[in-house]
């Protein structure tokens, strides 16, 4: 499980906004770091945040079908 102090300093690599940490309920060394601005989630594996856009998961909802975030500055 990531330390809250660590989560606080982590930023989305795309918009540099804050990330919301959601540990896996079964294995807290895994989880997700969610950017609500970009609607993407970064994986956490073995307590290591994988802050790579290539590895990020899209959180696109049902009716919002914006294309995946692409260098929009």
CA distances from 35 to 26, 50, 71 (A): 22, 13, 15
Q: Least separation, in Å, of the C-beta of 18 and Zn ion? A: 9
Judged by beta carbon, residue 31 or residue 42, the one nearer Zn ion is 42
Please measure the distance between the N-terminal and C-terminal CA atoms of the chain and give it in whole angstroms. 32
Binding site for Zn ion (CB under 5 A): 12, 14-15, 17, 35, 37-38
Judged by beta carbon, residue 31 or residue 34, the one nearer Zn ion is 34
Judged by beta carbon, residue 27 or residue 52, the one nearer Zn ion is 52
């Amino acid at each position: 499980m990531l330390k809250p102090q660590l989560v606080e300093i982590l930023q989305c690599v795309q918009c540099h906004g804050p990330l919301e940490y959601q540990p896996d309920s079964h294995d807290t060394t895994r989880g997700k770091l969610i950017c609500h601005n970009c609607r993407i989630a970064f994986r956490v594996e073995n307590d290591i945040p994988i802050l790579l856009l290539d590895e990020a998961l899209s959180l696109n909802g049902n009716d919002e079908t914006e294309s995946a975030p692409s260098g929009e500055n």
